[in-house]
Amino acid sequence: MHSPALAITRTPLVAVYGTLKQGLRNHHWLEGATFVGRDHLTTATLYDLGRFPGAKAEPSRGVEVEVYRVDAQILADLDRLEDYRVRAPASGMYDRAIHDTAFGPAWLYLYNPDVTGHPAIHEGAWQPAG
């Protein structure tokens, strides 16, 4: 399996779609990262899980992401936040996979649990309740 440092050699970009976005509660985890820009991915569908969204690798009309350039430490911190398990990706809350963005290939965290019964977001952005 790949260590976070090796993962960075594949791409230093991360695409975020939920609470890591600017102005939301987990954005501080991206302190030290460089904002590259916004994009719309047609290779993912978001699901509104209440306090946060989850993405599945399913076609959409374009869900909004923010793309950041990160270093190995920030990626490792994000892996901990998202419960991504390098040695057993299917056993954590999120897996991650590379998706093409307008800025190049970027890691996207994909939600592992079942999303049955949760509203799908096929276009646009997830919005926190309240």
Provide the residue type at 99 as one letter: H
Give the C-alpha separation, 130 to 123, whole Å. 20
Residues 6+ apart with CB under 8 A from 69: 12, 13, 33, 34, 36
Our answer to whether residue 82 is catalytic in this structure is yes
Read off the tokens for 59.
């076609």
Give the count of alpha carbons within 13 A of 50, CB side only. Answer: 2
Give the three-class secondary structure for 76.
helix
Active-site entry in 58, 64, 82, 123: 82
Q: Which residues pair with 66 in a beta bridge?
A: 16, 38
Which residues does the annotation mark as catalytic?
Answer: 82
